[in-house]
Amino acid sequence: MHAPSTLFAGQVLIFALLAALSGCTASPQAASFATNSPAQASPTLNSVSTSTSLTPSPQSSLSPLATPAAPLEQALHQFTGDALVYARPDRFLMITDASGQQNMWLSARICNMMNGSIEQRGIWSEDGRYLAITCNHDPGSDAVLTSILDTRTGKVQRLDLEENWVVAERWSPTSPQVLIHASGIDAANWYIVDAPTGQIATFPALSKSNDTAAWSPDGAQAAIAGQAEGQPDTVHLINVDGTLFRQLSVDQEPHYYGLNGPISWSPDGKSLLLNRQLNPASDTYTYQAIRLDVDTGHVQTLTESPYDSLEFQWSPDGAWFLAGHTGRPGSHVGQWSLYDANGAFVRLISTDPNRDHIAIRWLPDSQRFVIMAVRFTDGVELIISDLQGNEQVIARYPDNGPSFPALAVASSGSLVATGLSNQDIVIADIQGNEQTIVQGRINEWRPRP
């Protein structure tokens, strides 16, 4: 297992500091996953009836949940532009447009109404047709499962796998196929599910696995970091039929400990960005952001830090990427850097010592990005920056910290969703003009076909 000082400990520290920064007594509800003994079921994809009528028990401070007046596939037709999927503070999954007047309940008749195991989550296929919904289904079990909603037909298909923690992670960039991460007691397995047919491809079992994976840009392979029996952490390149294509080793460094944190595949398909963890002494860990050449296996170290692993954000055109920490207010490690596609360092993103950069997302033009930052004396700032470092603050939210996920940019590039520690999600245009506020935590914007 990776050192407890990495992701989990960092998340605990984040929420504690956010509560102190915002003055709130209640921090956002974090998703917690159960890990009971896995059910013994063969990997199949079953249809679920959508005819049952259920009555929710929402928190009293929130408006009552109501199922759509029309069938869900018809009701979704009203969302013709940018639409945001989010989880309310009571964990139910919703969709809204920029006006905030069309909030609609997405997980009705799919998820358990008691809703105690996990904050409901939804991720969209690249064409915006399919929505993979992860939640607790059965009020008699803590199992977390995933269903796939076809928004064109209204059909709901439930994934029945052997594990009791079945989470949709990422859709293919080229086809309606979704990577599924499933955990039992001793193993973490990965699957690819084809949404139209329900066919499931099973990846080689790993005794230990990262919680993230990355699709190749052409959708032909997936990269997963994990440990096969008797081996150190390795990058496994898997074909879409579940067969192993190749393994890439990154353990040449002395004191190699493992791979930790997110994986990112470059848009040109030539390299992977990863986090390598070293253990040079007892209870001492070092984290390296590395660039791995997919063809040659050459490893380039980008940066080294005593802090947690970095995340990576590629520009849409693949010419640049940003690397940084999601940030911990007050720790001064929420810093990001700009690199070109070959891994050459370009510059630091804003060196203001009074600011931690919590999240960064590219705009579609690949020349600008949005920064969500905590200014220690003035709450949260929303900033537009170009490649040269010219910045414009477009919005400020005093007396607030960020909620995680903190930031999402609509595929049109015209709207930004910002998560704040009072559980507000502010939807604003790219000039910072507020459009609406809804309560909850950000999932993601629906892609535009």
Q: Check residue 116 and give its pLDDT.
A: 67
Report the percent of the chain where pLDDT is more than 70: 83
- How many residues can be counted in the chain? 449
Instruction: Tell me whether residue 226 is in a domain.
Output: no
Segment 244-266, tens digit of pLDDT: 999 999 998 999 999 988 899 99
Q: Check residue 16 and give its pLDDT.
A: 35
Q: Check residue 11 and give its pLDDT.
A: 36
For residues 152 and 43, membership in a common domain is answered with yes
- Domain boundary residue among 202, 234, 268? 202
Return the higher-pLDDT residue of 252 and 57: 252
For residues 118 and 180, membership in a common domain is answered with yes
- How far is Cα 69 from Cα 338, in angstroms, rounded to an integer? 48
- What CATH number did the domain enclosing 362 receive? 2.130.10.10
Return the higher-pLDDT residue of 15 and 207: 207
For residues 127 and 22, membership in a common domain is answered with no
The three-class DSSP label of residue 74 is helix
Q: Check residue 307 and give its pLDDT.
A: 73
Q: Measured on CA atoms in the order 447, 191, 248, 188, is the torsion positive or negative?
A: positive
Segment 395-405, tens digit of pLDDT: 999 989 898 88
For residues 55 and 17, membership in a common domain is answered with no
321 pLDDT higher than 50:
yes
Q: Model-level pTM greater than 0.75?
A: yes
Q: Check residue 222 and give its pLDDT.
A: 96
Q: Check residue 123 and give its pLDDT.
A: 97
- Domain boundary residue among 151, 168, 202? 202
- How far is Cα 315 from Cα 344, in angstroms, rounded to an integer? 15
Q: Check residue 245 and give its pLDDT.
A: 92
- How far is Cα 149 from Cα 84, in angstroms, rounded to an integer? 16
Instruction: Tell me whether residue 326 is in a domain.
Output: yes
174 pLDDT higher than 90:
yes
- How far is Cα 391 from Cα 150, in angstroms, rounded to an integer? 41
Domain hosting residue 94, numbered range: 31-202
Greatest mean pLDDT among 156-160, 303-307, 328-332: 156-160
Q: Check residue 51 and give its pLDDT.
A: 30
Instruction: Tell me whether residue 445 is in a domain.
Output: yes
Segment 69-104, tens digit of pLDDT: 888 889 988 888 999 999 999 999 999 999 887 889
For residues 22 and 41, membership in a common domain is answered with no
Segment 325-360, tens digit of pLDDT: 766 544 445 689 999 999 999 999 988 888 888 899
For residues 15 and 117, membership in a common domain is answered with no
For residues 323 and 412, membership in a common domain is answered with yes
Q: Check residue 312 and give its pLDDT.
A: 94
Average pLDDT rounded to a whole number, residues 358-382: 92
Q: Check residue 308 and give its pLDDT.
A: 77
For residues 154 and 7, membership in a common domain is answered with no
Report how far apart, in Å, the C-alpha atoms of 274 and of each of 225, 313, 391 are.
9, 12, 28
For residues 38 and 184, membership in a common domain is answered with yes
- How far is Cα 270 from Cα 295, in angstroms, rounded to an integer? 7
Q: Check residue 358 and give its pLDDT.
A: 84
Q: Which run of H or of E encompasses 7?
A: helix 7-22
Q: Check residue 405 and give its pLDDT.
A: 86
Instruction: Tell me whether residue 390 is in a domain.
Output: yes
Sequence-separated (6 or more) residues with CB below 8 Å from residue 365? 316, 413
Instruction: Tell me whether residue 231 is in a domain.
Output: no
Q: Check residue 369 and give its pLDDT.
A: 97
- How far is Cα 348 from Cα 310, in angstroms, rounded to an integer? 14
Instruction: Tell me whether residue 318 is in a domain.
Output: yes
Q: Check residue 183 and give its pLDDT.
A: 82
23 pLDDT higher than 70:
no
Q: Count CB neighbours of 164 within 10 A.
A: 22
For residues 25 and 106, membership in a common domain is answered with no
Return the higher-pLDDT residue of 206 and 268: 268
211 pLDDT higher than 70:
yes
Cβ atoms of 149 and 40 within 8 Å: the answer is no
Q: Check residue 37 and give its pLDDT.
A: 27
Report how far apart, in Å, the C-alpha atoms of 445 and of each of 50, 79, 128, 366, 430 are.
24, 12, 10, 18, 15
Instruction: Tell me whether residue 151 is in a domain.
Output: yes
Q: How confident is the model at residue 391 (pLDDT cuts 50, 70, 90)?
A: very high
Q: Check residue 20 and give its pLDDT.
A: 36
Q: What is the residue-averaged pLDDT of the chain?
A: 83
Return the higher-pLDDT residue of 128 and 15: 128
24 pLDDT higher than 70:
no
For residues 81 and 122, membership in a common domain is answered with yes
Cβ atoms of 288 and 276 within 8 Å: the answer is yes
- Domain boundary residue among 202, 221, 237? 202
Q: Check residue 347 and give its pLDDT.
A: 94
For residues 80 and 155, membership in a common domain is answered with yes
The three-class DSSP label of residue 205 is coil
Instruction: Tell me whether residue 219 is in a domain.
Output: no
Q: Check residue 134 and give its pLDDT.
A: 95
Tally the domains of the chain: 2
